[in-house]
Amino acid sequence: MEQTTSTAPNLFKHALRWGAILGGIGCAITGLLYAVDLSLLADWKIAIFLLVFFLGMVIYAGINYRKEAGGYLSYGKAFQHGYITLLVSAFISIIFQILLYHVIDPSIPEQLTDITIEKTEQMLTGFGMSGDALEKALDQARIDTPGRFTVAGLLKQFGWGFLIYAIISLITSIFVKKNEPQVM
């Protein structure tokens, strides 16, 4: 008689694999945007689209794991899977950004700073800001923005990501979890 045993896939390995996939996709998209038009890297509409895309991919990866694990997954395990997936993806993306901004094309940080300040001015003007308030906001942007593209700035963003990815995982886990039916 043949005996089959069903074992759930390793959560960490599955999340690590999906994190690597999403990190690779993120690097490819960043590289493509850089090649097409550098200003796309500072476009808020692109950022919103990518956020929604990656949220969908994290949910998809979690549901994929749930299916491989037998069709049911607790909220806690769904959270762990999403969190690990996002951390690995972000780590890969940060390493790529450091290489792109400081090895491949060191002129990117200055260009992105100029683009970001220009877009900030357009946005604030669109909101009706003018005069001293506008100049003060732009002066602060000129001080703060360049630091976002340094190695330390990118690592700081990754550090903040630990909290942001936890919040995102708390949300995506709602869509991934599936409790086993209770037998009465």
Give pLDDT, residue 3: 44
Which ranges of 69-182 would DSSP assign to H, the alpha helix? 75-99, 108-126, 131-144, 151-176
pLDDT in tens, 109-163: 999 999 999 998 998 898 888 889 889 989 998 999 999 999 999 999 999 999 9
Give the integer Cα–Cα distance in Å for 42 and 121: 13
Q: Residue 163: beta bridge partners? A: none
- 178 by DSSP, 3-state: which? strand
Give pLDDT, residue 6: 53
Q: Is the pTM of this model over 0.75?
A: yes
Residue 89 CB coordination number (10 Å): 27
Give pLDDT, residue 180: 87
pLDDT < 50 positions in the chain: 1-5
